[in-house]
Amino acid sequence: MGYNSILNWLLDTSIKASVIIIVIISFKFILKDRIGANLNYNIWFLLLAKLIIPFAPKTSFSIYNLLHILYSNISAIGDIVQNNSHNTVELINSNITELDINRFGFNFNEINSINLTNLCFKLVCIWGLVAIGIVLFAIVNDVIFRKNLNKCSILKDRNIIATYNACLEKMHINRDIPIIMTDMISTPAIYGVIRPKILLPLNITELLDENELKYVFLHELSHYKRKDVVVFCLVTICKALNWFNPIVWFGLNSMKFDCEIACDALVLSYIKNDELIEYGNTILNLLKKVNNKVVKPLGVVGMLGYKSNLKRRIIMITKFKKRTFKIVTISIVTVCLMGGMLLTNAKGETNFSISQLKGENVKNEMLWPIPNKYIVINDYGLKTHPEIKKQKFHTGIDINAKKGDLIVAVKSGRVQYSGELDSYGQAIIVAHDNGLSTLYAHCEELLVKEGQNIKAGEGIAKVGSTGSATAPHLHFEVRQNGKHVNPLLEEYLGNILEKNNGN
């Protein structure tokens, strides 16, 4: 996978994740708090799935069909404008000089022009460094936290342990999960993916009575049953990979808050109806008596969450209804239907990319310019010129061939230039759609004329060694919106060469 492919995948995933967030927020806003706490939280897993799973099937009921149609219409308008521009230039001057050729995007002395490969490389490096930095910060923070936690003592109060054991039994948890007393957190929390631990502030027994501690234990054990620590770790990784998209961060933070609501619902399913108020009062009481700072270490899930969202959390507690078969069925059907629309791709779509934002066609579907001749003797980039012995930017590729071998058009288009072109010798320039142009140089014989429409695979010239060439070969260039790009990128000739390498 090239740098441009990585960037395209990131952009595609980020755009679609943003669409999912907007749809989920709209769905929740319309229904307000009438949907259950579990559905309220579980629909966020559609976002997590989109950020984690790199591939998806194409369906006719995908929501992205709308975006695909919109993009197609914009591209069609762009093609009309672009074609009119080319026609206007040709009417102004039919005798093409080197200066005119530069207007078509072939400024052959332009060594310092920006090319897509270098841009993608820089952007991917920046993205990777920031993402790695965020993940490393979280890991280092976690290592330091775990090291300090090992110095803390295990709870030994028999009365509290008896209450805790009763909670374990009520929730049908047979695993030994120790309780650690520590001053490194301000609120009760659960910590650890492989070896989970319940963390309690040192002064917790002064803040809460035994009955309130029961609700604290039920809440943290609910996090354990739901595997929320694992989910929060995945959320941290997804935030790191999408650090550049504030919409994704907002969505993932909303998911973490709704996790607390779903966790409250699980606790309420294990207690009696007349205990709902007591559970809500425990959360309020704890919030009043502690400094509610959000727990930072990776793998730590606290009880209070964000103070700004507490009002809605209390409202959801008062509206709690125990799950029935009907509610569970509706939740499953809703998530499945939304998943079908949001986790599938549009039929016939290509990934959103940097190229599309510039009005380019990602899927160029080129042919190889010399049939059955796949040896590249000089590739794209800074090279030493064979005659002047100085480094110059080689703006295309040289393909090994015999004199007289047929050169074909790599893609349908219109001949913009056919004739002598300085050091390029006998050359042909073909304009294609979406700002794409190709150049075929050092030809022995030209088979097409300016203004002629040609089809992909049609013979346009024969290999020679005219111009500054020292031996027969084809010099082939690709220009995208006037900027030279590497012809061996995956979206141009890269796939063809890879399949036929060595032939």
- The three-state secondary structure class of 324 is coil
Rg (CA), the chain: 32
Q: Which helix (H) or strand (E) holds 418?
A: strand 413-420
Integer Cα distance of 299 and 294 in angstroms = 13
What average pLDDT does the structure give for the chain? 80
Which residues lie across from 201 on neighbouring strands?
Answer: 182
Integer Cα distance of 28 and 32 in angstroms = 5
Residue given tokens 């049953």 in the structure block: 225
Q: Are 400 and 438 in contact (CB under 8 A)?
A: no
CA end-to-end distance (rounded Å), the chain? 23
Question: What confidence tier does 368 reach under pLDDT thresholds 50, 70, 90?
Answer: very high
Question: What confidence tier does 96 reach under pLDDT thresholds 50, 70, 90?
Answer: very low
Q: How many CB atoms lie within 10 A of CB 325?
A: 7
Q: Are strands 58-59 and 345-346 parallel, antiparallel or unpaired?
A: parallel
Average pLDDT over residues 472-485: 91
pLDDT at residue 87 greater than cutoff 60: no
In this prediction the pTM is 0.61
Pick the more confident residue, 149 or 391: 149
Backbone conformation region of residue 353, classed left if phi is above 0, alpha if psi is from -120 to 50, else beta: beta
Q: How many CB atoms lie within 10 A of CB 502?
A: 5
pLDDT the model gives residue 317: 74
pLDDT digits (tens, 9 = 90+) for 268-316: 888 888 888 888 888 888 877 776 554 567 778 877 766 666 777 777 7
> For the chain, give me the number of helices (H) and strands (E)?
16, 19
What Cα–Cα distance (Å) separates residue 269 from each residue in 204, 225, 266, 322? Answer: 25, 13, 5, 6
Q: Are 175 and 192 in contact (CB under 8 A)?
A: no
Give burial (CB, 10 Å; 0-12/13-18/19+) of 185.
buried
Question: What confidence tier does 210 reach under pLDDT thresholds 50, 70, 90?
Answer: confident
